A = this chain, B = another copy of it.
Amino acid sequence: MLDFNSLSLSDDKTLCELADLFRVLGDSTRIRILCALCESERGVSDIAELLSMTQSAISHQLRVLKQARLVRVTRKGRASIYALDDDHVRTIFEQGFRHVRHILPSEGENGLA
């Protein structure tokens, strides 16, 4: 557990970085990209085809995800292979899903998924 007293309002820089992280996650295209990468690493055009979007749109979004340290790239020939930067992203996702799906309707851990 982290110490949330350290999250006091004085630490504005960290809070802005946190908001920035969530802002990057707050777009359905980027979420779908990350989901695609949860399964396995992929090239740009593969992702574009998976999501039925243009290569350009995906490339632009991958740039955003890379800047946020959420994905990493490796060149393989003329392809850029993108992957989740670490398993961290999965954990953030997991908590988000718990909220969205109301696994914890109000309090208590008795899952009624």
Interface of chain A, helix or strand or loop or mixed?
A: helix
Whether A112 sits at the interface, judged by CB under 8 Å, is no
Copies in the complex: 2
Q: Looking at the assembled complex, report how far the CB atom of A107 sits from the nearest CB atom of chain B, in whole angstroms.
A: 6
Please report which residues of chain A, range 8-48, place their CB below 8 angstroms from some CB of chain B when the two chains form the complex: 8-9, 12, 14-28, 30-32, 35-36, 38-39
Query: What would 11 more interface pairs be, CB under 8 Å, given A2-B98, A7-B97?
Result: A2-B93, A7-B93, A9-B32, A12-B28, A12-B32, A15-B31, A21-B26, A22-B22, A23-B23, A88-B104, A92-B92
Please report which residues of chain A, range 48-86, place their CB below 8 angstroms from some CB of chain B when the two chains form the complex: 50-51, 69, 85-86
Closest to A11 in B: B35
Contact B26 A9 (CB under 8 A): no
